[in-house]
Amino acid sequence: MRSRAIYGCAGLALSAAERDFFHNVKPWGFILFARNISDPAQVKELVIQLRDTIGDGQAPVLIDQEGGRVARLKPPHWQDRLPAARFGALHETDAGAAREATYLNARLIAHDLSQLGINVDCLPVLDVPQPGAHDVIGDRAFASAPATIIALGKAQIEGLMDGGVLPVMKHIPGHGRAGTDSHLALPRVSASPEELSASDFVTFRSLDSCPIAMTAHVVYESIDPQRPATTSPKVIRDVIRGELEFDGLLMSDDLSMRALDGPLSVRAREALFAGCDLVLHCNGDMDEMRDVASEVKELEGISLKRSAQALSHLRAPSPFDVAAAQARLADLLGEFSAERPA
């Protein structure tokens, strides 16, 4: 039986201590960062090593491969992909071209990942940026109009899934109004429930069929002034599972981010108690991972059911002509050519 956690690792290959730890705790999955990536052969081998520790050749291996400034796979071995905002800009003049371009871009990202054995991408970003917010989201969002985000987010989800990669929508129920970067501090949002429902939450509500979602380390003061969404039973129960009707697999954002405080074991316990199905720990620090593991139990009950449902969406990539897709994408983008820097 697997545990309710996703862990990172420290380097380009697993240490003996990491192998033993993963074998013993049997995490639900793993996540890769730039520190884990050198070239395609090395990444493929690391993915195999990770899965071997738990004896599951199809175990989820996640990555943040959005395009633009959030991309773990980079040149010279992988092509740069454009940030979401470029597709949102195209949507202003040609909605159909923007949807097709978004789909093809996601399909090309999925191809890059599936070639390495990576089967989960932390994408799409469905946050709705608001004036005056911190630029931690910025051009990672498609646009400021929820309708545009919904249309292009749907295309992105379809492109990833057709390419054999599970999407993770983030950061539910919305990070676009946050005035600080949750990697560094805890954002607090003072908007009313009505404002949040009409803007920030609507994208997630409209795409609630996405199999996996990642929480926001954001306090919504009008809903729960004490706790960020990740550790708030009220936000998860009343908003994410209630108002947004999301019944998929819910994972926390990274527990080691500075938006959260206290020992890692406490953070993990609070996130799971609040209603997260899985907790995410990214930095590969062995002491911190052991602390998280001390509070993470086996995946069971409704969380196990949600996991099985999410993983049931994994399928082999459909037939795909990479060169033709790249040429068509460049044609659709025109002046927003993929050859231009992101």
From the list 127, 253, 277, 291, the catalytic residue is 253
* C-alpha dist (Å) from residue 302 to 3, 57, 96, 204, 277: 14, 24, 39, 21, 8
Range of the domain at 188: 3-333
Active-site annotation holds for 285: no
Confidence of residue 184 (pLDDT cuts 50, 70, 90): confident
DSSP 8-state assignment for residue 122: -
CA angle 62, 64, 68 (to 5 degrees): 155
Residue 338 lies in a domain: no
Do residues 262 and 225 lie in contact, with contact meaning Cβ atoms separated by under 8 Å? no
Residue 237 lies in a domain: yes
Residue 341 lies in a domain: no
The pLDDT of residue 180: 84
Residue 210 lies in a domain: yes
Confidence of residue 335 (pLDDT cuts 50, 70, 90): low
The pLDDT of residue 341: 36
Flag whether pLDDT at 87 surpasses 80. Answer: yes
pLDDT in tens, 4-49: 999 999 999 999 999 999 999 999 999 999 999 999 999 999 999 9
Flag whether pLDDT at 179 surpasses 90. Answer: no
Active-site annotation holds for 111: no
Could you give the CA distance from residue 337 to residue 331 in angstroms, rounded to a whole number?
A: 8
Tokens describing residue 145: 């109009």
More confident residue, 1 or 274: 274
Residue 318 lies in a domain: yes
In this prediction, residues 104-120 reach a mean pLDDT of 98
Could you give the CA distance from residue 269 to residue 264 in angstroms, rounded to a whole number?
A: 9
The pLDDT of residue 338: 40
Q: For position 146, which CATH number holds?
A: 3.20.20.300
Tokens describing residue 187: 């954002």
Residue 95 lies in a domain: yes
Domain count within the chain? 1
pLDDT in tens, 251-287: 999 999 988 999 999 999 999 999 999 999 999 999 9
Could you give the CA distance from residue 315 to residue 10 in angstroms, rounded to a whole number?
A: 29
Cβ-based neighbours of 317, under 8 Å, separated by 6 or more: 110, 111, 114, 162, 163, 164
Residue 339 lies in a domain: no
Residue 104 lies in a domain: yes
